[in-house]
Amino acid sequence: MDLKKGEFLYEGKAKKIWASENKGRYIIEYKDDLTAFNAEKKATMEGKGALNNAISAYLLGYLNSKGVPTHFLEAVDERHQIVKAVKIVPLEVVLRNITTGSLCRRLGVEESLQLPRPLVEFYLKDDALGDPLVTEDHALLFGWATREELDTMKVLTLKVNDLLRELFEKHGIVLVDFKLEFGRTEEGELVVADEISPDTCRFWDRSTGDRLDKDRFRKDLGDVLGAYREIWRRLSTEEA
């Protein structure tokens, strides 16, 4: 597919988005920038964009192949993907299998507890407010999503969890939690959008407990890129 960038649309913390010559298609560029804590902590790591492009293309393509609709169409080079043009729903959907991160900070619950079933949370996508946790009623009353969309997002997020947990399990990795974004296509379909990568998931090595995700950056654990490379190495190696 042609990679002729059209109108520049948006620059986020880790990606840039352009329109393309093809109506209904966007071009996404994965940047080498890394941010945490609402961008209070920033770094650039050469090669991070290419790794996340590869990992995200693999995972979104995997979900497409399993019947979960996503915006992903094709990775065209080291940094770029072609995706369906969508309008992003202004909610981040977080699913947790194990307690950690902001859940433990906010509610004082113990770290690393296996939850009896997955927990799904909605956050408002608003950097100025620090992406606050919101209820479904907030989303409905302020028009961020409809009842049907909230239900679809929950069902799809649980399905993504089932699929990715099983996939990562085969590679010796525990899927601790992750964040999804959703978008509405021009045809009105609600699809998984944005990225799925070590920036947006927590991955723990099953045998060593090593953190293989952005927590290495958040918590200054060192060798951030080594962890991202390890995720890609395992995913791209046949012998699961």
Which residues sit at the interface with ligand TMP, rule CB under 6 A? 94, 101-103, 131, 177-179, 200-202
| Phi and psi based region of residue 5 (left: phi greater than 0; alpha: psi -120 to 50; beta: remaining) | beta
CB proximity list for 44: less than 8 A, separation 6 or greater: 32, 33, 34
Q: How far is the CB of 46 from ligand ASP (least distance, A)?
A: 19
Percentage helix, strand, coil for the chain under 3-state DSSP, each rounded to 5: 30, 35, 35
Say if CB 49 and CB 31 are below 8 A apart: yes
User: Which of 30-38, 45-53, 132-140, 142-150 is the region at the interface with ligand ASP (rule: CB under 6 A)?
Assistant: 30-38
- Toward ligand TMP, which CB reaches closer, 38 or 146? 38
Q: Which helix (H) or strand (E) holds 166?
A: helix 147-170
One residue of 6, 12, 13, 133 binding ligand ASP per CB under 6 A: 13
**Size of interface with ligand ASP, in residues (CB under 6 A):** 8
Q: Does 129 bind ligand ASP (CB under 6 A)?
A: no
Q: How far is the CB of 100 from ligand ASP (least distance, A)?
A: 12
User: Which of 35-43, 52-60, 91-99, 223-231 is the region at the interface with ligand ASP (rule: CB under 6 A)?
Assistant: 35-43
User: Which of 37-45, 106-114, 133-141, 163-171 is the region at the interface with ligand ASP (rule: CB under 6 A)?
Assistant: 37-45
One residue of 36, 50, 76, 88 binding ligand ASP per CB under 6 A: 36
Distance, CA of 111 to CA of 130 (rounded, Å): 22
The binding track of 183-222 with respect to ligand ASP, each residue x by CB under 6 A or -, is: -------------------------------x---x----
The residue nearest ligand ASP at its CB is 35
Show the CA angle centred on residue 29, arms to residues 187 and 144, nearest 5°: 45
Say if CB 96 and CB 117 are below 8 A apart: no
Distance, CA of 214 to CA of 217 (rounded, Å): 5
The binding track of 38-77 with respect to ligand ASP, each residue x by CB under 6 A or -, is: xx--------------------------------------
Q: Which helix (H) or strand (E) holds 217?
A: helix 215-218
- Toward ligand ASP, which CB reaches closer, 21 or 111? 111
Distance, CA of 98 to CA of 105 (rounded, Å): 14
Length of the chain measured in residues: 240
Q: How far is the CB of 113 from ligand ASP (least distance, A)?
A: 21
Q: Report the interface residues with ligand ASP, using CB under 6 A.
A: 13, 35-39, 214, 218
